[in-house]
Structure 1
Amino acid sequence: MEFDEVVRRRKMTRAYDPDRRVPPGIVDKLIKHALRAPSAGFSQGWGFLVLQEPQERELYWSVTAAPGPADSWLRRMRTAPLIIVALSNKSVYLDRYAQADKGWTDRDERRWPVPYWDVDTGFAALLMHLTAVNEGLGSLFFGMPAERVGAFREAFGVPEVFTPVGALAVGYPAADKRSPSLRRGHRPMDEVVHHGRWSATGRADASDT
């Protein structure tokens, strides 16, 4: 599939065919493409927890979902045959930038304007998401409730140094209702793109140049 077509077809999928597993070759490709993501200082401070077996996925939902009856979103998401949790490791970045070629030996987090360990892990998740689309699958990137992170770590033996940035559900799409969020449409380009300087319309006019 051409890259432009992948981007055009990209969307978040919330319902999956529970009877179709993701082929092992595609699972491997998702991870291999994630490892091609950029990272500050080539730190690669990420980790990926791959959950394919029914008992693994059921455990994931049991420790991360809110108590009580499953709502419509959760019932549909539980049909995903593959979950990949993307985790970041801040300490890898602090260690990397304390090395001789970087020189931040104090490992001071204030040197970082944004947490690049999370940004880079997000890049990796996006590459997996786009790879799924290219392979004819659907996926959804979603977060983990903060109050559930501890239970998740305990259930899967995840070390404290790793923080779950989000998870990808992956599978073959099933028929589903259109997300209400999509009714908002894309924001106009001139509201979000600013040329030369920030302006009310996005694009600088003659008086601004």
Structure 2
Amino acid sequence: MDLQHVIDHRRMCRTFRPDPVPQEVLERVLHNGTRAPSAGFSQGQAFLVLQGDDLKRFWEIADAAVQESVTTAPAVIVPLSCKRTYLDRYAQPDKGWTDRDEARWPVPFWHIDTAMAAMNMLLTVVDEELGALFFGIVPEAVAPFREAFGVPDDHEPIGAIALGYSAETERRDLSGRRRPEDDVIHYGRW
């Protein structure tokens, strides 16, 4: 599959068949997540993979952000960002900062880099001819999620990716809802 085809066919899927995702496909999705850009090569991401009974526990905690049909997905990957990893990395001598001051960062690259890893995974899902949905974990579910799965306090879930074989029978036409490129692309000046 070529890249343009993957990008053009990337959609969020909200209904899944129960068929399991082959382990080698899941490993490719995860591997490609680790290949995303990382500020200072900090690599402050982690990925929690949930299937089977773990997935049932996850949905008991974190189903508030999705419609019921999403809970049929046979796998969920939770991308987690770790700010500490970035602050530690940029306090090393080769980066020139001598402290771990968070104010030096114009935006939280730990979240951005983790989101890029999630995008790599979403594109890989399309290349594997699967479906996926990126969704948020509502704030009140984060603490129970951490407790249920032993997630360290310094790792922040940026969302979750439900994945599996799509059971959607119709492709939604969203072309009329996409903002025109002239509204979002500016050359040289706004």
TM-score (norm 2): 0.95
CA contact (8 A) 1:88 1:162 kept: yes
Contact in 2 for aligned 1:97/1:103 (Cα 8 Å): yes
Deviation of residue 133 (structure 1)?
0.3
Aligned to 1:29: 28
Whole-angstrom distance in 2 between the partners of 1:183 and 1:28 = 32
How far 1:130 moved relative to its partner?
Answer: 0.3
1:10 counterpart residue number: 10
- The number of residues matched between the two structures is 190
Residue 140 of structure 1 is matched in structure 2 by: 133
- One-letter code aligned to 2:39: A
Q: What is the CA distance between 1:84 and its match in structure 2?
A: 0.2
In 2, Cα distance between equivalents of 1:3 and 1:178 = 20
Q: Report what 1:51 is aligned to.
A: 50
**Larger relative CO (CA 8 A, sep 6+): 1 or 2?**
2
C-alpha deviation, 1:184, in angstroms:
4.8
Corresponding residue to 1:152 among 118, 121, 145: 145
Q: What amino acid does structure 1 have at the position aligned with 2:32?
A: H
Letter in 2 for 1:5: H
Picking from 60, 63, 70, the partner of 1:62 is 60
Indicate if the aligned counterparts of 1:51 and 1:83 stay in contact, CA closer than 8 A: yes
The amino acid of 2:91's aligned partner reads: A
SS of the residue corresponding to residue 105 of structure 1 reads: coil
Classify the secondary structure of the residue corresponding to 1:168.
Answer: strand
Q: Which aligned pairs between 1:104-115 and structure 2 lie closer than 5 A?
A: 104-115=97-108
Q: Which runs of 5+ in 2 are unaligned?
A: none
Q: Which amino acid aligns with 2:9?
A: R
TM-score by length of structure 1 reads 0.87
Question: Within 5 Å, which residues of 2 pair with 1:84-99?
Answer: 84-99=77-92
Q: Deviations over 1:44-86 (max 9, x none)?
A: 0011000122x111100111234xxxx9x53201110010000
Aligned residues: CA RMSD = 1.6
| Residues 137-190 of structure 1: per-residue CA shift (max 9 Å, x gap) | 01011111011100000000000010000111110000256669x375211111
Q: Which range is displaced more, 37-46 or 97-106? A: 97-106
Alignment pair present for 1:161 and 2:154: yes
Identity in percent: 51
